Amino acid sequence: MSINVTVKQDDVEASLRNPPNIHYIPATIRGDGPAKVHQYFNSYTEELEDETLVNALRGYPLRGKHLNLPDGYSGIILQETQKPLSEHEERKFTFGGAFKQFTYWNYDKIPSRNDPLVKALDWIKVSQVLHEPLDADEIKQPNVKEE
């Protein structure tokens, strides 16, 4: 099976100027289509003094936080307009939007650095540092005693 992704740089840049409001919610929603998120969800979101967010989804309490992607990174939304009939058919995804910030939600627990998604975002920064080339002046030589 092959996957075909169509994304144009101009579309990404235009979307980043007016990004969509992205939420990562720990739930499975068996539906596909527009939702009145602003009317039925965003309008009930409350921000606390410690910058955490409070809301509920179908009676389940949610605690959230705004997260930024690391500098130099953007998230993109891909949409599959037609599901393949078999696993051997080509899959086609088109660009649906781009973002640099999203709201991360947990059930009744404040998002922390110990959450897998937050750790993944931290790993991007760690990986950059580990793979960054060093200048010769930055490399410290061990102290070697000559006898």
Q: What tens digit of pLDDT does each residue of 11-47 get? A: 999 999 999 989 998 888 787 777 888 888 888 999 9
Q: Specify the pTM.
A: 0.77
Q: What CATH number is attached to the domain comprising 97?
A: 2.40.128.680
Q: Give domain status of residue 33, yes or no.
A: yes
Of 27, 8, 109, 127, the C-alpha closest to 62 is 109
SS3 content of the chain, % helix, strand, coil (to 5): 25, 30, 45
**Structural domain span for residue 45:** 3-133
Q: Give domain status of residue 144, yes or no.
A: no
